[in-house]
Structure 1
Amino acid sequence: MTISLRPMNDTAFPLLHLQTEHTIAKLKHVVELPSKSAQLYSLTVTAAEITLIAPSQFVNQHRALVINREDNWHVIKFDTTFNFSAVGVLARVAQVLAEHEVSILALSTFATDYILVKQQQIGRALIQLRQLGHNVTSVHQLA
């Protein structure tokens, strides 16, 4: 499979860089999350572990439940809705960022895609996304 790396122009979509620091944490047990929020909260439960992605301030408030944590993540929200038949959108973004040594964690909800990027790599990531033709808006929202 070949993915074109030319500027997207006709297929560019808006991205929101949520500047609030997020943490990825392994928890002892499930924690109650806000029912709605401008920030990203994600709870994944498997037989092996419980993982929370949330604003660092929220994780700090529940530190007694934290087994392990990885701090200093920034969230980039794909500020558009893709239908389930869309192919290669995330792959294209991930490939370009990987070529510029930017590690990501990808996450999707029913209607929205997100990537998380470490704070020390966010500047490089935003430059590459803009060079792909995306309109990136940085916003600071309180948790």
Structure 2
Amino acid sequence: MRLVLLEMELAVCRLSPEEEVPAWAMRRIGFFSITATEDELSLVCAADNVPAGVRCERGWRALKVIGPLDFSLIGIMSSLSDTLARAQVSIFAVSTFDTDYILLKEAQLAQASAALQQAGHELLRS
């Protein structure tokens, strides 16, 4: 797979399921994702957008699988996540209509890059 590293630092935030999606989460700077379930409102957005006091984990970076990817393709996320799991790299996965994103901690970026390249994947910078 060909992947591109997004430059921005991301935060993964958790709000209660009753909360409305806050405007700060949707400031359109490259990437954000919103998932609402009966248990939580989960946000991924630019770390700089998150106000103090919001429950979140900062220091994430995103690898974008260069797409678009056809829905009939099988094993893309499995191939990437298996490679990273063997390298002891924790991930947070986000998928869109066109492609997949793998979020990983900045501190594990070099380790992840080496593992992915060794497995034959190509990493590019945005």
Q: One fold, TM greater than 0.5? A: yes
Residue of structure 1 equivalent to 2:77: 90
TM-score, reference length from structure 2: 0.87
- Report the Cα distance in structure 2 between the residues aligned to 1:129 and 1:80, rounded to whole angstroms: 17
- Report the Cα distance in structure 2 between the residues aligned to 1:134 and 1:47, rounded to whole angstroms: 37
TM-score, reference length from structure 1: 0.77
- Number of equivalences: 121
**Structure having the higher Rg:** 1
- Report the Cα distance in structure 2 between the residues aligned to 1:40 and 1:108, rounded to whole angstroms: 12
- Report the Cα distance in structure 2 between the residues aligned to 1:31 and 1:86, rounded to whole angstroms: 34
Structure 1 spans left out of the alignment, 5+ residues: 1-12
Find 1:24's aligned residue among 12, 37, 42: 12
Q: Does 1:52 align with 2:43?
A: yes
Shift of residue 98, structure 1, vs aligned partner: 0.4
Residue of structure 1 equivalent to 2:59: 72
Instruction: Answer 1 or 2: higher relative contact order, Cα 8 Å, separation at least 6.
Output: 1
User: Structure 1 stretches (4+) deviating beyond 4 angstroms?
Assistant: none
Shift of residue 133, structure 1, vs aligned partner: 2.2
Q: CA RMSD in A?
A: 1.6
Shift of residue 56, structure 1, vs aligned partner: 0.2
Give the letter for the 1:27 counterpart.
Answer: L
**Cα deviation code 1:41-67 (max 9, x no counterpart):** 00111121111101101113xx46x2x
Structure 2 spans left out of the alignment, 5+ residues: none
Query: Percent identity, aligned pairs only?
Result: 32
Shift of residue 111, structure 1, vs aligned partner: 0.8
